[in-house]
Structure 1
Amino acid sequence: MSTDAHTPEEKANLRLVLDMFDQVLNAMDADAVDRFIAPDYIQHNQSVGPGVEPLKDLLRFIKKETPQAVHDVKRSFVDGDHVIVHYHVRRWPDDLGWAVVDIFRIENGLIAEHWDVLQNLPESSPNPNSPF
């Protein structure tokens, strides 16, 4: 008897999102977007336009301006057709960066919808706990 609580669909959804982080976001490969994200992708980030073309444009801009940027995944969760990823974005090696949580909805094997929240990381904090 397996103790793994995730369904095969949930495992596939999580793998899709984590592979997208590796092959699209960390690689900053705008051409790889179509392998992971639906053409009618619904974007809720208020800084990026709807659909895949604005996302591709953003990736090309980031690759040009900050080619050392990384998206360091700290934890991920899956629940049915939703995947949540908590990660650390750094634009260059010594950047404090942001703590980010992305929520993705998967449909027909592709990322169909995206929400995110992010927090700038301060140089000091009254709290001794890491945001990660």
Structure 2
Amino acid sequence: MATSTSEEKKAFVLKAFDTLFNQRDYEAAEAYWSPLYIQHSAHIEPGREGLFDLIRSLPPTLRYENQLIVAEGDYVIAHGRFSGFGAPAAWVAADILRFEEGVLKEHWDVLQDEATEEQSKSKLPMFGKAFPRA
């Protein structure tokens, strides 16, 4: 898939995340992540295999939902929620991805446990329009 415009890059990232995190299609996911993928996350072992191995180790209930995605130049930032991975709270994430040669080459993330209404000082949800159900 050509990824020359911002819209194409956003669509590429959403398809990549769905393929890996929701569908668990590792063979198809290889087309989205560079074999020389650089991982900056403190939660994930190095490289594409580190990412794939992490997903393999999580329960099949893992889900990724996207709230917002922006792109500029070679970078895409996806604001999303990871749930169903066995932790008490879902993670709300800002995933920063860099493209190189039409695939995902580099990744950084910012992760936070999703707050309940009782925990939120602003009384606004971190993701979507409603707080998570307890």
Taking the aligned partners of 1:30 and 1:57, their CA distance within structure 2 comes to 10
The Cα of 1:29 is off from its aligned counterpart by: 2.6
- The TM-score, its normalising length taken from structure 2, stands at 0.82
- Do residues 70 (structure 1) and 66 (structure 2) align? no
* 1:8 to partner: Cα distance: 4.5
Where does structure 1 lack aligned partners over 5 or more consecutive residues? 1-6
The structure with higher relative contact order (CA 8 Å, sep 6+) is 1
CA drift of 1:52 comes to 1.2
Q: Sort the Cα spacing of 1:38 and 1:87 in 2 relative to 1 into closer, same or farther, 3 A.
A: same
Q: For this pair of structures, how many residues does the alignment match? A: 122
1:48 aligns with 2:44: yes
SS in 2 for 1:131: coil
Offset from partner CA, 1:4-23 (integer Å, 9 cap, x none) = xxx95222211210110111
- Aligned partners of 1:87 and 1:58: how far apart in 2? 18
1:1-132 to 2 correspondences below 5 Å = 8-62=4-58, 66-91=59-84, 96-123=89-116, 124=118, 125-132=120-127
Q: Aligned to 2:53, what secondary structure does the other structure show?
A: helix
Measured in 2, the distance between the counterparts of 1:30 and 1:69 equals 14
CA distance in 2 between counterparts of 1:49 and 1:96 reads 22
1:59-87 alpha-carbon deviations (Å, 9 max, x no partner): 1111xxx2111111001001011000001
4+ residue runs over 6 A deviation: none
Richer in helix (by share): 1
* Identity within the alignment, %: 34
TM-score w.r.t. length of structure 1: 0.83
Q: 1:25 & 1:117 partners in 2: Cα distance?
A: 17
